[in-house]
Amino acid sequence: MTLKILVLNLGSTSTKVAYFEDTKEISNDTLRHSTSEVKMSMMDQIPFRLKLINEFLYDNDIDLEKLDCISARGGLLKPIDGGTYGINKLMIDELTRFTHGEHASNLSAVIAHELGKQHNIQTMITDPVVVDELIDEVRMTGLKDITRVSIFHALNQKAVARNFAKKIGRNYIDVNVIVVHMGGGITVGAHEKGRVIDVNDGLYGDGPMSPTRSGSLPNRAFAKYILDNQLNLDDISNIISKQSGFISLKGIEDALEIEQEALAGDQYSLDIYHSLSVQIAKEIGSRAAVLKADIDGILFTGGLAYSQFLIDLITPYIEFIGDIEVYPGEKEMQALAEGAYRVLNGEERLKEYT
């Protein structure tokens, strides 16, 4: 029997919708929103986003009554293990109250739950950004009141690792890989037998710089910068996650434009790419140490993985560690469909959010 799966992935300025039969995508659309719409409060955005989703269903002749599942992007929840979770009342309460943070992704599960309740459809999420499988040794810092947290591209990282394992004829839970997601933020994860035991905080600066993020900074210099500029917590968060990296160094976040300038001979743009490549390589080396050099592959993914120039710059620093594979772009919708499919066909157990 063919399994029919609707996938919802809500972002700050768009609503992505796709329809799958088993794991084959049949139709998809990215529904863009106006500035006035996205300036509305999060909960007030639900009606217009739901209207657009229903229009997508109508235009593509998709009958909600015949769906087996709605798979939604996970929002900001408390730290949980990776996997696929049924959407329940506790999850909806926390997402709608923004208990763990406010982001448009929270609305994915909320809308999925509403549609599922109306039409008796099973609903679930897979590998949200808050997946936390860190080993205790990497949590501790030298300041007692501060511990490291896990915020990363869990959905895409785990999907790429699973695809690699399948390619070499093994299961995700049987391989050790380093996954490097290179996008607006860059996260480098050490995947040991199906668990991400170490990864940098891709939202608030830890690790390499990126098009919009600062990366790790010298502590005292950054402390002085904060004091000199009289910054509050919101200012600091905005700077290190949205106004740093390429934006601070070049005034733009367009990686392709900076790369083209570097290739055309602009020395400063070339310096940026050389620094970026070294920072990413150092992060990979750190993960290799955590995995004790028992590594089946180093996997690059995300938008910047389309850049052969960047991959070639990184390669000489890391090729001694293991084989390199490149999976450019993001396959979030596919990953969400596959997460639901694994549960529906009995390959994985549906987890409960508690």
pLDDT for 337-354, tens place per residue? 999 999 999 999 999 999
For the segment 212-223, what is each residue's pLDDT rounded down to a tens digit? 999 999 999 999
Q: Tell me, what's the pLDDT at 1?
A: 86
pLDDT, average across residues 94-99: 95
Mean pLDDT along residues 40-51 = 94
Tell me: the pLDDT tens digits for 7-35? Answer: 999 988 899 999 999 999 999 999 999 88
The residues spanned by each domain of the chain are 4-132+332-352, 154-328
Residue 38 has pLDDT above 90, yes or no: no
Residue 169 has pLDDT above 80, yes or no: yes
If you average pLDDT over residues 37-64, what whole number do you get?
94
* Domain 154-328 listed as CATH 3.30.420.40: yes
Averaged pLDDT score across all residues of the chain = 96
pLDDT, residue 224, reads 98
Give domain 4-132+332-352's CATH superfamily.
ATPase, nucleotide binding domain (3.30.420.40)
Residue pointed to by tokens 């955590």: 290
User: pLDDT of 295-329, one tens digit each?
Assistant: 999 999 999 999 999 999 999 999 999 999 999 99
Is-above-0.75 flag for pTM?
A: yes
Q: What is the pLDDT of residue 101?
A: 87
Q: What would the 3-class secondary structure string for the chain be?
A: CCCEEEEEEECCCEEEEEEEECCEEEEEEEEECCHHHHCCCCHHHHHHHHHHHHHHHHHCCCCHHHCCEEEEECCCCCCECCCEEECCHHHHHHHHHCCCCCCCCHHHHHHHHHHHHHHCCEEEEECCCCECCCCHHHCECCCCCCECCCCCCHHHHHHHHHHHHHHCCCCHHHCEEEEEEECCCEEEEEEECCEEEEECCCCCCCCCCCCCCCCCCCHHHHHHHHHHCCCCHHHHHHHHHHCCCHHHHHCCCCHHHHHHHHHCCCHHHHHHHHHHHHHHHHHHHHHHHHCCCCCCEEEEEEHHHHCHHHHHHHHHHHCCCCCEEEEEECCHHHHHHHHHHHHHCCCCCCEECC
Is 158 a residue whose pLDDT tops 90? yes
pLDDT at 264 over 80: yes
pLDDT at 13: 86
64-75 pLDDT, tens digit per residue, is 999 999 999 999
How large is the average pLDDT for residues 239-249? 95
- Domains 4-132+332-352 and 154-328 in one fold: yes
